[in-house]
Amino acid sequence: MLSLARLRVLRELRRHGTLAEVAKNLNYTPSAVSQQLAALEAEAGATLTIKVGRRLRLTAQGEVLADHADVLLERMEQAEAELAAMSGQVAGRLRVSSFQSVLLALIPQTLSILSEQYPGLRVDVTQYDEADAADGLFTYDYDLVLGEEYPGEPVHVHAGVDWRELVLEPMRLALPPEGPWSDPRLRLADLADAPWVLERPNLIFGRWAQNVILEAGFEPDVRFFSSDMLLHLHLVEQGHAVALIPDLLSVTEPARVTLVPLEGDQYRRLLTGVRAGSGNHPAIRAFRAALEQTYRDVTAR
């Protein structure tokens, strides 16, 4: 009988291509990963991998088995979700990973709703800064992750992850309350000489912001690089920079800044992602419902 744990190793190998990356993601040693793959080949009675340079590539048999691994692991998630639903309770532990702006704006009230409605549910929350949070779903570090995408910068699509839209929110140009860059009639194209605070362009928000500014016809004079959106707001408030910020942050973290709509269809799409098959788990359904309620409450204030 094929081992589900070893099939999971095979799936990770198809995603990453090297023993070292698989070991890192699954908290194994590379030698342990190699042993698991060798054992799986013995169980399957087929050669599943072939070495190409420094990478391991799946053979045709390996690809077939990895496809089945995706299906089997999804069915396992479905089984666990159905069993949990049959208990009639929303309880246990849910591990959530999110980025800063959602943590600040939505997570505290979401947790309050859940603790009141489902006292038997424990929610552990981790802030992430990596470009791709879905990795934590595959490694079973998290059960639900928050994702974001921008025009031209879609969320990474993985087989085995189900994404669901939470909301589509506009992006804003944030200007200081006084000084040469405070006029609310200013548009993006007028800010070629302004100092900017941006996220680094290796991350999705920073890459989108750089592209939007370049499309406005100039290279931004970036004085500050940071992934801390609160720092962006405070630098603008004190007159040290201008910035692009999501509408949600401007609503929940009020600062003395001038907010200007961006021209064109510039938005951020917030999403929740879970392992395929787990979406009907009572804890996940409860969390998504509480998050949606929180967003409605926050934006109605």
pLDDT of residue 252: 74
CA distance linking residue 69 with residue 50, whole number of Å: 19
Domains of the chain with bracketed CATH: 4-75 (1.10.10.10), 85-166+269-300 (3.40.190.10), 169-267 (3.40.190.10)
Look at phi and psi of residue 166 and say left if phi exceeds 0, alpha if psi is from -120 to 50, else beta: alpha
CA distance linking residue 26 with residue 67, whole number of Å: 19
CA distance linking residue 201 with residue 248, whole number of Å: 21
pLDDT of residue 295: 93
pLDDT tens digits for range 146-176? 999 998 888 777 778 999 999 999 999 999 9
pLDDT of residue 131: 56
The interaxial angle of helices 60-86 and 282-300, nearest 10 deg, is 80
Consecutive H or E run containing 218: none
pLDDT of residue 101: 87
CA distance linking residue 186 with residue 196, whole number of Å: 15
CA distance linking residue 219 with residue 214, whole number of Å: 6
pLDDT tens digits for range 14-47? 988 889 988 888 889 989 999 999 999 899 999 9
CB 22 within 8 A of CB 12: yes
CA distance linking residue 291 with residue 106, whole number of Å: 7
CB 89 within 8 A of CB 269: no
Residue position matching structure tokens 């707001």: 233
Q: Indicate the DSSP class of residue 225.
A: E
Mean pLDDT of 246-269: 85
CB 231 within 8 A of CB 237: no
pLDDT tens digits for range 202-236? 888 999 999 999 999 999 999 999 999 999 999 99
Confidence band (pLDDT; 50, 70, 90) for 132?
low
Q: Which stretch of 182-191, 204-213, 248-257 has the lowest confidence by average pLDDT?
A: 248-257
Task: Enter the pTM of the model.
Answer: 0.86
Nearest alpha-carbon partner for 11 in 36, 46, 32: 36
Consecutive H or E run containing 115: helix 107-117
pLDDT tens digits for range 78-114? 999 999 889 889 999 999 999 888 998 999 999 999 9
